[in-house]
Structure 1
Amino acid sequence: MKFKIDTDTWFIFCLIFFGILSIFIFLYVYIPYSTRKRNTKRRNNRISRKLENFERVEKKYIQHKIIDLESKNEQLKVTLKEDITKIINSKQDADFEAFFSNFEKLYPDFKTSIYQIAPNLTSNELKLSAFLRLNLSSKEISNLLNITPESVNKARYRLRKKLYLSANEDLSTFILKI
């Protein structure tokens, strides 16, 4: 038996063969591409969830740390207020030492930063600047140091000169910024 295929049938078979071959080639390329794309999307989602969890945990940690530091700060402020009242009531130098140890816990870099600005400060000027850092008035400082308010104003003037402040700058705001 002889099969004779005319050119039209041959052309149709070739078209079907190449069509099926192109479908297989397309699937051979498309399936791994879509799998890689899906896996990449999953990985990116997993990474973004991990980053969100990390940021959430970090925010909680920072909030807990801030709350802890604020409570310690409040305790130190209460301790400073108690020390100030002890100083007012007893007028002893030992109370000043306790006050300044608590002051340095509350403002740890204050002493070093003020000595960087003016390295030749005396202990009385350092006390004055600490009281100004606590935003006390001249009258309150005079009661604490057992001197007159005029003496406090003169000491403020001398401190202003040692800190090289101009006439426009306020000493209290400058010390609060330190």
Structure 2
Amino acid sequence: MEFRVDPDTWFVFSILFVSGLGLFIVGFITIPYILRKKQIERLQFKFDRKSIRYDQLEMKISSRGKSQLEKNNQRLKSDLKVSLREILKRNRQELETLTFFSDFEKIYPNFTSSIQEKIPNITANEIKLCALLRMNLSAKEVSIVLNITPESVNKARYRLRKKIGLEAKDDLGLFILNV
């Protein structure tokens, strides 16, 4: 018995075989591609979720730090006011005023550098005067702390205004608060 295949059948079989082989190759390439794409999407989602959590934790930590700094700043301000009251009650002692100015530097760390930046030829006594004016002290209170007369305080304020270049209508206290 001789086995003979019809050419039409052979052609259909060849087409089916090539099509099946093509589908197998396409499936062999696309299935891993789709799986990798889904895996990348999952990893990206996890990364986004972790970065959001990280940002939330960072904001929480920074807000805690800010609130802690604000509490410390308020405490230092109240301590500064207490030490200032003590200096004003007693006669001026050099050690207490040095403590006051060191506490002032802790509360306003950039005050001296920023005032020296705005007024390059300012003296140490004028910086002390500016610090006391920053605390909104009157001329009498400043005179007690610096152990000078209130008239001397007014003269020093006048000279400071001239050095800064403020006019009579400009407020020295407002200028110092904005430093």
1:12 matched to which residue of 2? 12
Runs of 5+ unmatched residues, structure 2 = none
2:67 matched to which residue of 1? 67
After TM superposition, the runs of 4+ consecutive aligned structure 1 residues lying more than 4 A away are 166-169
Q: Mean alpha-carbon deviation: is it higher for 31-40 or for 159-168?
A: 159-168
Distance, in Å, in 2 between the alignment partners of 1:142 and 1:122 is: 21
**Secondary structure of the structure 1 residue equivalent to 2:109:** coil
The one-letter code of the counterpart of 1:114 is I
| Length, aligned pairs only | 174
1:115 matched to which residue of 2? 116
Structure 1 pair 20–166 and aligned structure 2 pair: CA distance change class (3 A): farther
The one-letter code of the counterpart of 1:36 is R
Runs of 5+ unmatched residues, structure 1 = none
**Secondary structure of the structure 2 residue equivalent to 1:49:** helix
The one-letter code of the counterpart of 2:157 is R
| TM norm structure 1 | 0.84
Is the 8 Å Cα contact of residues 77 and 107 (structure 2) preserved in structure 1? yes
| TM norm structure 2 | 0.83
Q: Does 1:145 align with 2:143?
A: yes
Is the 8 Å Cα contact of residues 133 and 176 (structure 2) preserved in structure 1? yes
**Secondary structure of the structure 2 residue equivalent to 1:5:** coil
1:166 CA drift (Å): 5.3
Structure 1 pair 22–169 and aligned structure 2 pair: CA distance change class (3 A): farther
Distance, in Å, in 1 between the alignment partners of 2:39 and 2:111 is: 55
Structural RMSD (CA): 2.2
Quote the sequence identity (%): 41
1:124 matched to which residue of 2? 125
Distance, in Å, in 1 between the alignment partners of 2:97 and 2:139 is: 13
Distance, in Å, in 2 between the alignment partners of 1:65 and 1:103 is: 21
**Secondary structure of the structure 2 residue equivalent to 1:102:** helix
Is the 8 Å Cα contact of residues 129 and 142 (structure 2) preserved in structure 1? no
